[in-house]
Amino acid sequence: MPVISYIEALTQALDEEMSRDENVFIMGEDVGMRGGVFQATKGLYEKYGENRVIDTPLAESAIAGVGIGAAMYGMRPVAEMQFSDFMLPAANQIISEAAKMRYRSNNDWSVPMTIRAPFGGGVHGGLYHSQSMEAIFANVPGLKIVIPSTPYDVKGLLKASIRSNDPVLFFEHKRAYRLIKGEVPNHDYVLPLGKADVKRKGTDVTVITYGLMVHFALQAAEKLADEGISVHILDLRTVYPLDKEAIIEAASKTGKILLLTEDTKEGSIMSEVAAIIAENCLFDLDAPIKRLGAPDAPAMPYAGPLEQAFMVKPEQVENELRNLAEF
């Protein structure tokens, strides 16, 4: 199987979906001739033309809102928000409109739209090019929020998102774009939305996480294996609505749980995961449910040492896991 990068998997999925279904089109800032500021849509403008890869005006609420209208007409827009930080001007369109369209029209209208956005830190992006925005939208029924961790998942989940008949927020970790490589079949496949995935089996401690943090967990697990600690890793993949069964199963399995996110801790996705566990398998627990996240500061600073201080570090993951194992 070819080994490609996270972002290549993305472009491949877009390309395949566009050639498969003429209703799929791309819209966003600089997605056309420039191929996106991260080059996620590279080559697609040349291949599909300016009608299907649309450089929009600099206006996120319009990008989302126009996308909604196009989706209502029967298209499958894939809208890019240049950075997830910049999707807030579109919050009203996403939360009040896209998410509620099917419900409020009693299943008459629907919004088969995917909104892609790079998120996450560790790239020297400062306050507004590093944020995790998923928690803001993770209380909005009608939305699905997908966050892949590997190139394989990127391709399968993006295709599933595009084919979904409901709106999907698809967050891509910008540091993973070129850092993370992996095997990706050339052929067409989809992965189920709403399903978490066991990325490593283990018996002593469970990590539940998503995005880049999956790789931090995998690294830590590798190291701890040498120490005789066996780590179980569940990658949520869809962070809203959550895969409750998988969470309960993974938590019950070891009874010692680390919930890991690079988002600020209070009010993060991991709060809900903790609540699910505490509600459903409390008596299977052998240790308090530990959460590891970023400090509760507004966002990741630009200066190197401050960025470092903000971002969760692989060693922290390792330490927390060791502590739990020894609990």
Ligand X SMILES: Cc1ncc(C[n+]2csc(CCOP(=O)(O)OP(=O)(O)O)c2C)c(N)n1
Interface positions with its own copies (CB under 8 A)? 61, 85, 88-89, 91-92, 95-96, 99-100, 103-104, 127-128, 135-142, 240-242, 259, 263-264, 266-272, 274-275, 277-280, 282-283, 285, 287-291, 296-299
Q: With CB cut-offs between 5 and 8 Å by kind, which of another protein, its own copies, ligand X, none does residue 230 bind? A: none
For the chain, list the strands marked E by DSSP: 3-5, 24-28, 53-55, 76-80, 114-119, 144-146, 168-173, 181-183, 197-200, 205-209, 231-235, 238-240, 257-264, 290-294
Q: With CB cut-offs between 5 and 8 Å by kind, which of its own copies, another protein, ligand X, none does residue 228 bind? A: none
Q: With CB cut-offs between 5 and 8 Å by kind, which of its own copies, ligand X, another protein, none does residue 7 bind? A: none
Among 29, 134, 272, 320, binds ligand X (CB under 6 A): 29
Contact between 97 and another protein by CB under 8 A: the answer reads yes
- Give the nearer residue to another protein in terms of CB position, either 86 or 171: 86
- Could you say which residues in the range 62-91 bind ligand X, by CB under 6 A? 82, 86, 89
Q: With CB cut-offs between 5 and 8 Å by kind, which of another protein, ligand X, its own copies, none does residue 34 bind? A: another protein
Query: Is residue 215 annotated as part of the catalytic site, yes or no?
Result: no
| Contact between 149 and 210 (Cβ < 8 Å) | yes
Backbone angles phi and psi of 84, in degrees to 5: -60, -30
Among 308, 313, 326, 327, binds another protein (CB under 8 A): 308
In whole angstroms, the minimum distance from the beta carbon of 254 to its own copies comes to 15
- Give the nearer residue to another protein in terms of CB position, either 176 or 300: 300
| Contact between 234 and 268 (Cβ < 8 Å) | no
**The length of the chain, given as a count of residues:** 327
- Can you read off the two tokens belonging to residue 221? 């697990």
Q: What is the DSSP string of 202-225?
A: -SSEEEEE-TTHHHHHHHHHHHHH
Which of the residues 124, 129, 215, 232 is marked catalytic?
129
Contact between 303 and ligand X by CB under 6 A: the answer reads no
- Can you read off the two tokens belonging to residue 288? 């308090």
Q: With CB cut-offs between 5 and 8 Å by kind, which of ligand X, another protein, its own copies, none does residue 256 bind? A: none
CB neighbour list of residue 43: distance below 8 Å, 6 or more residues apart:
11, 15, 35
CB neighbour list of residue 61: distance below 8 Å, 6 or more residues apart:
89, 90, 92, 93
Using DSSP's 3-state secondary structure scheme, residue 247 falls into helix
Contact between 58 and ligand X by CB under 6 A: the answer reads yes
